[in-house]
């Protein structure tokens, strides 16, 4: 395997606070990588740096072998990176299908004149967008809800809808910020199966998650942050038995199903 994402000496300071401190990370193409740590350890900040929401204070980020520094988020989307956020960013008064279609409209070729005059090429593109959006809904199990307003979905299904919107543009790398937040155990089990299916479809996953049972069941490798620094990296078994992780994050030695 080769690394789809490489981070070297990544640092982010907010005034006198160092949120991310000299972090190295390499995510291999085709893997599911988890990024864990206590609250305030810098996990979401790393995702924001990688996805172009924040500009690093120092360090390098390579995506697909090219520098991702100072790239606007929509340019990274065009390069094959998508993400979901910790809090829901759905358009609540649009349908489930319309929300997914918005996930790919930014990459369409139809210009303003084409849209206004409904040129044939624009019509064909709209049909393709609809087909791909319905396929993404089928992948996450929401095809039957396509015409429902997104605000009427249960919270767990809203999280699945956000994943569908991330998948519709066929990304190479999908960043997931606490995808299981607010889910019940049954929904979490469904999410594990879904993310394995997404990986089988050729998408590399980097997820920040607090549900340690999910992390241990799902991840190929785990990286651990504490106070902005990477303190450990390895397989789920290695992380489970790492004394630094136990003391800094888990609090005690534990077993995971």
All domains of the chain, ordered by start, with CATH? 1-80+173-178+205-257 (3.40.50.300), 88-170 (3.40.50.300)
Burial 146-167, CB ≥16 within 10 A → b, else e: beebbeebeebbbbbbbbbbbb
Tell me the CB-side half-sphere exposure of residue 101, using CA atoms within 13 A. Answer: 16
90 or 87: whose pLDDT is higher? 90
Determine the Cα–Cα distance for residues 151 and 42; give it in Å rounded to an integer: 31
> Is residue 257 predicted with pLDDT exceeding 60?
no
The predicted pLDDT at position 113 comes to 42
- Cα of first residue to Cα of last residue in the chain, in angstroms, is 28
With 0.95 as the threshold, say if the pTM is over it.
Answer: no
What residue has token string 């640092």?
11
Model confidence pLDDT, tens digit, residues 116-128: 445 566 677 788 8
Determine the Cα–Cα distance for residues 33 and 175; give it in Å rounded to an integer: 10
Q: Provide the pairing of β-strand 173-177 with 3-14.
A: unpaired
- The share of the chain scoring above pLDDT 70, in percent, equals 89
| 103 Cβ neighbours under 8 A, 6+ residues apart | 82, 133, 136, 164, 165, 166, 167, 168, 169
3-class DSSP state of 136: helix
Helix (H) or strand (E) holding 176: strand 173-177
The predicted pLDDT at position 118 comes to 57
> Is residue 220 predicted with pLDDT exceeding 90?
yes
| Distance (Å) of CA 174 to CA 12, 22, 64, 81, 245 | 22, 23, 13, 6, 26
């Amino acid at each position: 395997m080769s690394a789809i994402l490489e981070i070297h000496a990544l640092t982010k300071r907010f005034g006198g606070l160092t949120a991310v401190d000299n972090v190295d990370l390499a995510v291999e193409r085709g893997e599911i990588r988890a990024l864990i740590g206590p609250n305030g350890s810098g996990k979401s900040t790393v995702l924001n740096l990688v996805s172009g929401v924040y500009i690093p204070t120092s360090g390098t980020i390579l995506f697909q072998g090219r520098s991702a520094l100072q790239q606007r988020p929509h340019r990274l989307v065009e390069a094959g990176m998508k993400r979901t956020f910790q809090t829901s960013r759905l358009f609540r008064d649009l349908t489930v299908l319309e929300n997914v279609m918005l996930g790919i409209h930014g990459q369409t070729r139809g210009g303003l004149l084409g849209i206004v005059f409904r040129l044939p090429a624009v019509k064909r593109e709209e049909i393709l967008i609809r087909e791909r959006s319905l396929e993404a809904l089928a992948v996450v199990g929401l095809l039957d809800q396509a015409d429902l307003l997104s605000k009427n979905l249960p919270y767990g299904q809203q999280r699945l809808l956000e994943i569908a919107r991330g998948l519709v543009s066929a990304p190479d790398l999908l960043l997931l910020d606490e995808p299981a937040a607010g889910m019940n155990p049954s929904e979490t089990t469904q999410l594990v199966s879904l993310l394995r299916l997404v990986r089988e479809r050729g998408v590399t996953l980097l997820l920040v998650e607090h549900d340690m049972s999910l992390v241990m069941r799902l991840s190929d490798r785990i990286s651990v942050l504490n106070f902005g620094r990477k303190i450990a990296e390895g397989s789920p078994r290695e992380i489970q038995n790492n004394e630094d992780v136990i003391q800094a994050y888990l609090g005690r030695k534990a077993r995971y199903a």
